[in-house]
Chain A
Amino acid sequence: MHTVVAIKQVPDTTNVRINPETGTLIREGVPAIINPYDLHAVELAVRLKERFGGKVTVITMGPPKAAEALIECVEQGADRCILITDRRFAAADTLATSYVLARAIEALQEEGPIDLYLFGLQAIDGDTAQVGPGVATRLNVPLISYALHIESIDPETRVAVVHRKTERGIEVLQTRLPALLTVLKEIAPVQRAPLANMIRAAHYKPEVWSSTDPVPFDQDQIGIRGSPTVVGRAYTPAPRQAGDIIRLSELGLQGCVKRALQEIQASGAVDLARMIGANRPAGGNGGERL
């Protein structure tokens, strides 16, 4: 079974800081990590390889530094990693990114059959969740986004049954393979890498593809030229105005509780009176149903 996983190296957005004077992002010193969802996609691919044999190929588009992320994938158990890097790819939006990844995958298809494509649901720096569906559309393979669990997968009959999480519950979908899944973290818990992988990764050098070699990408569809969307303006959101702080030790419990409920009601955010009325025990509309 051959699985291709597309990953992204992202800034650890939990560590992003804003320059208080200029209001801009401080990108220096922000650690780069593998997009958390993608880790689970790689893990799933490795689990499938353990079960069915075959191989795991990981591709990424990014700066040269993204090689670090690929080497981590080798530690996880990936067999082959490809770094697609070129200054001409810079400033790509999701349309241009899905073009590059789809075109790269087509080049891999020429080398041999691929059974499954895995993407993380979304990257934590952009949170768009658009690249996986875009690639599936370009490759004309079935898409299952928000994949939560693989109930069954059979590379022989080329059929998989996948659970897809929606707001209302879980859809159980049967798909033909190859298919493209964008995965949630629950799809496969990340396990500790075996030592052999670590040793292999220590010497591993990812393949590097440019915008012309070995795949001649259409230069009009990559980078800023291939991107219909542009950032018109970027700004730091105004910090939320903090409200009053009251002290239990000063106002007492009654005072604090009354003040809290009054302010909630006065804010107009929620109609507390109606909400409480609607959720009387007799109303049977308790929180457990939500």
Chain B
Amino acid sequence: MDEARVTIYVIQRLVGLVPVLFGISIVIFLTMKLIPGDVARALLGPMATDQSLAQLRHALGLDEAIYVQYGKWLWRALQGDLGLSPIVHKPVMDILLPKFGNTLILAGASFFLAVVGGVAVGVLAASRRHGLIDRAVMGASLVIGNMPPFWLGLVLIVFFAINLRWLPSLGMYSARGPGGLEDLLAHLVLPTIATAAAPGAIIARMTRASVLEILGQDYIKVARSKGLSDRAVLATHALRVAWPAILTISGLQLGYLLGGAVFTEEVFGWPGLGKQLVSSVIARDVQVVQGAALFIALSFVLVNLAVDLLNLYLDPRSRPA
């Protein structure tokens, strides 16, 4: 592996992010400017005098040219200052940061479940091609892949929280309970399943397809004809080659998964970024909506970069020649 070339590629990839991040910041900034209504009036209320409005506009820099405003906004955003929520009267960053951590827990657990479950099921189906298991798995994954996550969440609550009373249905911790990791995990189970189901189903279908494609190739026939068992062929020959494709597929499902997490956070009262986004949208708290959008876009871009780089590490074929 040519170290220098890979380093150059990584640097190119990082530099390529700059215009995208720049574009994101412009889109988010401009949307704030497009909203009808006067920020100063919203902050001061209907009783404000013209003089106090002018003072506040000046203090907020709203009387400056738009590119100056953008520059100042970006500079503050880079330092972690996303402004003040006019509704809750708290810094946007203070509102979003704890929620972001909670979403990471839910999204991380769901992504793990979707990838491990999806790949296991997909490989199993591919190894039993056209058998009963294969057909059952493919049928089920088609239905699950089309399930609205918010509805699946409600169905899980009906079964496991209301009827069976096995698991809690709301929040991250019990109000009057032991708390701690055990409590968190119990609360995590249902939202994780609801979030992971649809992306996991898609990962299963695509894993099956890419394993089947590899199983049809000549070197697999060679491996079989020299007497290797099906299991050995699958484990040592097919999967090694299929991994990068599976990784890419899984990475592509991440956006879908994060979108689904908004609904499961809402359904299960999980205090994450998605739930915050929805309640801020309903409260018309545009400052927080923008901050959340910035947070989500940044983390999404970074995760995609991580998937790319991981792929580079795992798959020699994806390295620049």
Question: Is chain B a partner of chain A in the same complex?
Answer: no
Taking beta carbons and an 8 Å cutoff, which residues of A are in contact with B?
none
Query: Which residues from chain B sit less than 8 Å from chain A, CB to CB?
Result: none
